[in-house]
Chain A
Amino acid sequence: GAVVSQHPSRVICKSGTSVKIECRSLDFQATTMFWYRQFPKQSLMLMATSNEGSKATYEQGVEKDKFLINHASLTLSTLTVTSAHPEDSSFYICSAQPPAPVRGPNEKLFFGSGTQLSVL
């Protein structure tokens, strides 16, 4: 099946630094990628929708200047947490959507394995 690689799987950083998380679709072109964050023992909350070559669409309450998303190619999207603070510590998960089929449902989404960010 389709594979989405997310890197790094775990990162620890000092408060005030920036962290970049990469999400790659390894065997398909992802026209759309989604970024989620998950606090311990909670659900996945959608942060933003990223379309290749255009600006990301952020969900209400998500700071676009703090969570920079770049989707420069059909196989790579990055999430940069700028000036990270301890409250940004969370599990971040990306998902990638292949192009819509000519016919039939367009429901496929493939998830990365997540990145655990810990800000000290």
Chain B
Amino acid sequence: AQSVTQLDSQVPVFEEAPVELRCNYSSSVSVYLFWYVQYPNQGLQLLLKYLSGSTLVKGINGFEAEFNKSQTSFHLRKPSVHISDTAEYFCAVRGLSGGYNKLIFGAGTRLAVHP
């Protein structure tokens, strides 16, 4: 089975400041890792994903994340945030094996960008 822990339920930050949203996972099998963003009353939008290869992955809207296998982490970063980045961010893990191919979400981190 897999699980995802998002260490911060809320992250307040000022506009143009850098931000890091933390995510740790556990799994008995190899996994794919994802970050999604959800704006109020909307579905999910994929920000980025790690499947294999380079541990630093770049996504949309200037976000990037680094996969660290030894620390089982997949933290999301952005060097300079905008007001429009205010949203809920979900880290998710999906096992590679057939019996573990469910997408499991973390509890979410509310990013609040202030002017």
Interface size on B, residues (CB 8 A): 20
Closest to B94 in A: A107
From 1 to 24 in chain B, residues with beta carbon under 8 angstroms from any chain A beta carbon are none
Say which one of B37-45, B68-76, B77-85 lies at the interface with A: B37-45
- Point out the residue from A41, A106, A114 that lies within 8 Å of B43, measured CB to CB: A114
The reply to whether A34 and B103 form a contact with Cβ atoms under 8 Å apart is: yes
Query: Which of A12-20, A42-50, A81-89 lines the interface with chain B?
Result: A42-50
* Residues on the A chain within 8 Å of B41, using CB: 114, 116
Q: Nearest chain A CB to B107's CB is how many angstroms away?
A: 5
CB distance from A35 to the nearest CB of B (A): 11
Q: In the complex, which of the residues B51, B108, B110 contacts A105, with contact meaning CB atoms closer than 8 Å?
A: B51
Contact B107 A43, beta carbon cutoff 8 Å: yes
A86-120 contact mask (Cβ, 8 Å, vs B): 1 or 0: 00000001010000000001110101111010000
Does B105 touch A at the CB level, under 8 Å? yes
B43, chain A: closest CB distance, angstroms: 4
Taking chain B's interface residues, is the majority helix, strand, or loop, or is none over half, making it mixed?
loop
Known contacts A44-B90, A93-B44, A112-B43: does B105 contact A107 (CB below 8 Å)? no
Indicate if the CB atoms of B103 and A42 lie closer than 8 Å. Answer: no
Q: A43-B90, A46-B103 are in contact. List 6 more A-B contacts (CB 8 A).
A: A6-B43, A43-B108, A44-B90, A93-B43, A95-B103, A109-B94
Which residues of B approach A to under 8 Å, CB–CB? 32, 41-44, 49, 51-52, 90, 94, 96, 101-108, 110
CA distance A6 to B43 in the complex (A): 10
Binary flags per residue of A24-66, CB closer than 8 Å to B gives 1, else 0: 0000000000101000011111100100000000000000000
What are 8 A-B pairs with beta-carbon distances under 8 A? Answer: A34-B102, A42-B107, A43-B90, A46-B104, A105-B96, A107-B94, A111-B43, A114-B42
Partner of A43, one of B43, B49, B102, B105: B105
Q: Are B94 and A43 within 8 A (Cβ)? A: no
Q: Are B49 and A107 in contact (CB under 8 A)?
A: yes
Q: A111: shortest Cβ distance to chain B, in Å?
A: 5
